[in-house]
Amino acid sequence: MRERKVAEAAAPAQKLGPQQEDALRRLAGLLAPRLRALETRLESELRRRGFAPSERSALKAITALAALKLLSGGHALADFFEQADYYGRRLAKLEVPPAGILACIELVGKAIAEQLRKCNGHQITELDGARRQLELAAIVTLNNAFYQVREQESQAFYALFQAELHSRSHQELITRCLETVVGWAHASEARLYLKDPSGPIWRLAGADGVGSECTLPSSILRRLARPRQFGSNGCEQAMVLEPAWRGRFASYWSLPLRRRGCLQAILQLAFSKPYQILPRELRVLSAAAERILEASEKACLAEQLARREQQIRRLAQQMVEIEQMERQRISQDLHDEAGQSLLCLRLQLETLSRQATRDRNGLKVGLREAVRILERTIEEIRRLVRDLSPAVLEHFGLARAVRHLLRQFQKSYGICAQHKIELKQPVPKGLERVVYRLVQECLSNAGRHSRARRLKLVLQCDDNLLRLRVEDDGIGFELPQALARRQGLGLVGLQ
């Protein structure tokens, strides 16, 4: 790769040809005693025009004066163009206006031409012509350097777009985006930390498990609230969020990202060598980081939506299963209880019809038994109807309906049930039915699975907020494991 860059930088030198290079060497020898004075004048003029020190050093390296210094020191002309290519890219990243660069080249050219006019000889015109060709070749090199910088930026943003378009998961998106940033910035590694919305925890984007999150002291957050570049000394290592980086790299970049004025993410890059962040790099990196953060938020929302859709599909399937199970239960109850009781009643009445003429005492006993069977059947049918459409809820409201459920619960399972019901504002009818079914399901689960001796229910409604809490002293369960099991449908129904 380096040979290719050197060849590209040397292309303008090859266009000059050996005659022009020879003329430039003679020009360098002619002006050698005056080069230092010319450089001093250039430094003063650049300082007067308000260029920063880093800008002044880059500008001086791309002028004809720098080429003459290299040639007088025995270097090849291609070395100058390689140097001009490097400092041209640096000037692009320093965001020095092209007009300012051309003005500097023109300023040096006039100074050299002025010195040539003071010299005697028939070669002055040839040497000044070689100087002009050198300046044109330098401008071409600088133009190529600026183009390379813009082209690399365009390729980086295109790669980010491709990552956003083709990544199949949030983790893959973050990995591809950070690889793009690392390649563009010539960094060794990169990390993106996202702030947890629920607390002061910062999580490493695209990672799970131990070491993927941290809590930052306020003093560190204040220092990281603005773009920073820092080295590897001890006091600055506290700002390195990745523990494995500390002591391994020579320099770091840290870039904060905000949403609605609040710090939401921190992007950090690590470099194996000291590397100063330049204005253009900071601006491009900020834009890229914003793009990554937006893509990350979209990917998280997409994954959440996919999980919700999967959960809805699962719930829909399980609702069908629950409905079928409920139909089977009602059918079984009608067959086992009401159906058998009615069959017994029919047989009992047939027997009584045969005994009616000959055994009056037996008739009385049989009638009493028939009445008992009939009453039990009526009660069972009422229970089934009550389970399907609770009349106590429709006629007396949620509070009395829940108390009735608790009495039935104690009677059925022998578990002591305490309650605290405070409904300080009316509950909508639709919500009443939902709460009633929730309580019904909670009591059913507790009675069948908890092995509890005591149960407490708290139901409160105030300030447009309804709270329901059911707890017992049973064996309990772990919620994630219980939800992961597909055999039971109770918790899914509660969800």
**For residue range 50-63, what is the model confidence (pLDDT) as tens digits?**
999 999 999 999 99
What residues pair up with 213 in beta bridges, in sequence order? 203
Same-fold call for 2-157 versus 167-277: no
Of the pLDDT bands very low, low, confident and very high (cuts 50, 70, 90), residue 152 is: very high
- Quick one: pLDDT at residue 9? 46
For residue 93, name the pLDDT band (cuts at 50, 70, 90).
very high
pLDDT category at 494 given cuts 50, 70, 90 is: low
What is the CATH code of the structural domain delimited by 167-277?
3.30.450.40
- Asked if 459 and 422 count as a contact pair (C-beta separation under 8 A), the reply is yes
The pLDDT score that the predictor gives to residue 121 is 65
pLDDT of 385 = 63
Kindly report, residue by residue over 131-143, the tens digit of the pLDDT. 999 999 999 999 9
The whole-number average pLDDT for the span 378-403 is: 74
Q: Look at residue 295 in the predicted model and tell me its pLDDT.
A: 87
Q: Residue 11: pLDDT above 60? A: no
Q: What angle do CA 188, 191, 195 make, to 5 degrees?
A: 165
The pLDDT assigned to 445 comes to 87
Q: What is the pLDDT of residue 123?
A: 79
Q: CA–CA separation, 121 vs 175, rounded Å? A: 65
Q: CATH fold of 2-157, please?
A: Globin-like (1.10.490)
Q: Which residue has the higher pLDDT, 31 or 345?
A: 31
Q: Is the pLDDT at 4 greater than 50, yes or no?
A: no
pLDDT (mean) for 404-421 = 90
pLDDT-based confidence at 212, cuts 50/70/90?
Answer: confident
**pLDDT at 210 (0 to 100):** 46
Which CATH architecture describes the domain 390-495? 2-Layer Sandwich (3.30)
What is the pLDDT confidence band of residue 200, given thresholds at 50, 70 and 90? confident
Instruction: Tell me: pLDDT of 34 over 50.
Output: yes
* Range with top average pLDDT, 27-31, 158-162, 242-246, 441-445: 158-162
Average pLDDT estimate for 321-350:
70
Residue 446 has pLDDT above 70, yes or no: yes
pLDDT of res. 337? 66
> Which residue did the predictor score with more confidence, 307 or 9?
307
Share of the chain above pLDDT 90, in %: 38
pLDDT, the chain, mean: 84
Cβ–Cβ under 8 Å, residues 65 and 113: no
121: left (phi over 0), alpha (psi -120 to 50) or beta: left
Residue 215 clears pLDDT 80, i.e. is over it: yes
Q: Convert the pLDDT of each residue in 340-349 to its tens digit.
A: 777 777 777 7
**Rounded mean pLDDT, 322-341:** 68
What string of H, E and C letters represents the secondary structure of the chain?
CHHHHHHHHHHHHHHHHHHHHHHHHHHHHHHHHHHHHHHHHHHHHHHHCCCCHHHHHHHHCCCHHHHHHHHHCCCCHHHHHHHHHHHHHHHHHCCCCHHHHHHHHHHHHHHHHHHHHCCCCCCHHHHHHHHHHHHHHHHHHHHHHHHHHHHHHHHHHHHHHHHHHHCCCHHHHHHHHHHHHHHHHCCCEEEEEEECCCCCEEEECCCCCCCCEEECCHHHHHHHCCCEEECCCHHHHCCCCCHHHCCCCCEEEEEEEEECCEEEEEEEEEECCCCCCCHHHHHHHHHHHHHHHHHHHHHHHHHHHHHHHHHHHHHHHHHHHHHHHHHHHHHHHHHHHHHHHHHHHHHHHHHHHHHCCCCHHHHHHHHHHHHHHHHHHHHHHHHHHHHHCCHHHHHHCHHHHHHHHHHHHHHHHCCEEEEEEEECCCCCHHHHHHHHHHHHHHHHHHHHHHCCCEEEEEEEEECCEEEEEEEECCCCCCHHHHHHCCCCCHHHHHC
220-245: average pLDDT? 87
Average pLDDT over residues 245-256: 91
Closest CA to 257 of 217, 280, 225: 225
Mean pLDDT within 224-250: 87
Contact 373, 344 (CB under 8 A): yes
pLDDT at 79: 92
C-alpha triplet 204, 210, 211: angle, nearest 5°: 50
pLDDT at 373: 74
What are the domain boundaries of the chain?
A: 2-157, 167-277, 299-388, 390-495
Quick check: 209 pLDDT over 90?
Answer: no
At 372 the pLDDT is: 75
Instruction: State the pLDDT at residue 359.
Output: 62
